[in-house]
Structure 1
């Protein structure tokens, strides 16, 4: 017969072993809801800290305010932290209503963790093997791909630090046994019994039925998630190899905008194209579902005179001059109007369009900055007066960029077009019009 403390000793040893790579972290922060899982994790860590040199430990409680009963939870959590001698931070969040309350609450929670995590710090969360199986099944029913079916990674970057799930290989039964052995008390969230929420339905109705017929189903599904995570790692490595061929220098180095050369992508099979683009788009936007990838086919296969745009959740992909370009944030808003430049020796802030400056001795006279309206002409040395549209065509300027290029006027005379060699300077070469475009704002990331 096992000793009464066998579960405690075995679980403590396994946890300490998994945490070994993170022992040099600046601090450990524990996501502490007060429920069973996070209570066990916090208790384990507090006990380990008594006999081992560990990073400073802090509990972080996120208060969603979704239920009246939740008002008492921070009090319970503070009492538990006082008993364990662990400082605690409470973060109040507002959950934005949406199609899925579960997802909205999760988004709010991780946004809070993201904001509180400093450089070199690690957020420890208490998801376990049963959670992993539940996540795999939930995503499978939603038609997820390999990345989604890999379920929850053991670790990933979060904010300025890292997230680590040290209990991901432990069963819920093990955590319950530890809690009973230690005489712990925890919060029972009544919403966890509400089967209207998809995950609760899987947890309370589907998985118990499955494990009645296949007792090892939870462990098997968690193992499958690990296999899929390994497959996703291989797909990511393949994507990086393919993207390296397409990540060629942009013709306009001053244009700080994600772009890829199209030809190397077109040489790949359609499946490898999608794999590479998923990897490239992942930090830029929420990825499209299966049906929406027809937008990529249309963009890729458009004729040379086409101006295809693939509209995604958080931006747009454009095709121009043999490249694909990612536009988001401020780049999706039009610029217009004119500005008087009374002190041309000083940089000029362009509303919604970066900064403009004249390098060298600024030309005399009343200067104005305008944007293209159509019909502009420009005096080109040794070529005479030329239509600006034709000059932009000759230089291969993408259509999405043309309306943003600042034009410098003196009276009715167009003096320069910012950043375009041969059009951006005086004929004598004593000054040049330099534009610092706005950054490609990523609102999602």
Structure 2
């Protein structure tokens, strides 16, 4: 007796229960074989299963003349299945890889259309997974990259789900023939100048001719690597918990880590923890550029080194490493008058100031450092501001945007710093709230 083999609809249903309560399901619908089968499967299941409302999204890249007819085809298919369709036109940015640029434009559109708690379903299958593993292996990817495509991940306000990753292309083709589906054949899919097409049409056929189970084996290897990456992520979270010690400046809304806690780790664990920490902040460096971390870590204690990354900089100061997004320097250096000190003062691109207690009388203004400032410190007389800031340990990258309170030509206070932020009698204290991460600091 032959073992029971679940049908394609049954296999798909097994992947869907965790997502049944989503407010909406969107199907990424190119009109090709894979997405046509997925759309047909879901539209058919919706007739007998209580699924969330279905809709389809077709992204038109405008890269080839043949694509101009595809929205009409997609609309006809969706109308026949009674599924609403949204057609989105995107602008693909020129670059070295048109494949990557088109993919980025497509997923940016998907993210914008995936609302809170909603689900976007895409039709990548097991053959795509094997192809992705080979492609990334040839590019020298690490464990995370070789884990290939995850079955699910956050997207926009909701999630992306790939419910067909355990399904072969042959199974999708058989389903399409059985149900007499019509789909688009993209001419660019036969162009072997594209790396993925070369793998699909030339490399994988050779592999499967020699090893018939090659596609399934490669996809299984991707699963093992994805599992290994999950363990590395767990280790990273453990290491980062030890390194996430509060700094002496809790009011500074920048991600930071204790350098000493990182330095007790092996170099491999340092890189693993930093990759995990930096992933939501910036595009990660390739292997050749990790020497920048060694330079930052090993610099002399009195140095203030930095490591430039794609979307910002990593600084070392006061025993911590700090992440500064590229937007950190985007603020106005112009002075501001403060005619009503009883109300908070908004600083262009630099948060706001406010007083606790009774503000000082007289005309007040805010300036930024120019160098050579002197301040009268209770019990210490006149002191250079530079020396006072050095004593405080305030990171150097903050000092240029530190708002200074003046009354006429007299420097009255430096916010947030003990001994410098209040008057001698304790009538008032100056507080600075720098821009939060939501305002572009990370």
Distance 1:204 1:59, change over 3 A: same
Q: 2:302 aligns with which of 305, 316, 329?
A: 305
How far has the Cα of 1:351 moved from its partner?
A: 1.8
Q: 1:371 aligns with which of 368, 372, 375?
A: 368
Q: Is the 8 A contact 2:124 2:165 kept in 1?
A: yes
Alignment root-mean-square deviation, CA: 1.8
Q: Paired residue for 2:219?
A: 222
Note the 1:41-56 alignment, pairs <5 A. Answer: 41-56=38-53
Q: Is the 8 A contact 2:313 2:326 kept in 1?
A: no
Q: Paired residue for 2:112?
A: 115
TM-score by length of 1: 0.96
Q: Residue 285 of structure 1 aligns to a residue in which SS?
A: coil
Note the 1:323-402 alignment, pairs <5 A. Answer: 323-333=320-330, 335-402=332-399
Q: Is the 8 A contact 2:24 2:52 kept in 1?
A: yes
Q: Is the 8 A contact 1:357 1:433 kept in 2?
A: yes
Q: Paired residue for 2:430?
A: 433
Distance 1:443 1:193, change over 3 A: farther
CA separation in 2, counterparts of 1:95 and 1:361? 56
Q: Paired residue for 2:150?
A: 153
Name whichever of 347-356 and 398-407 sits farther off: 347-356
CA separation in 1, counterparts of 2:440 and 2:195? 29
How far has the Cα of 1:336 moved from its partner?
A: 2.2
Structure 1's consecutive aligned runs of 4 or more residues displaced over 6 angstroms after TM superposition are 441-445
* Aligned positions, number: 441
How far has the Cα of 1:200 moved from its partner?
A: 1.1
Q: Is the 8 A contact 1:329 1:440 kept in 2?
A: no
How far has the Cα of 1:181 moved from its partner?
A: 0.5
Distance 1:330 1:440, change over 3 A: farther
Q: 2:313 aligns with which of 313, 316, 330?
A: 316
Q: Residue 438 of structure 1 aligns to a residue in which SS?
A: coil
Q: Is the 8 A contact 1:335 1:403 kept in 2?
A: no
CA separation in 2, counterparts of 1:66 and 1:210? 32
Q: Paired residue for 1:184?
A: 181
Note the 1:74-89 alignment, pairs <5 A. Answer: 74-89=71-86
**Alignment deviations for residues 357-407 of structure 1 (CA, whole Å, 9 cap, x no partner):** 223322222211111111111111111111111111111100001111100
TM-score by length of 2: 0.96
Which consecutive unaligned segments of at least 5 residues does structure 1 have?
none
How far has the Cα of 1:88 moved from its partner?
A: 1.1
Q: Paired residue for 1:10?
A: 7
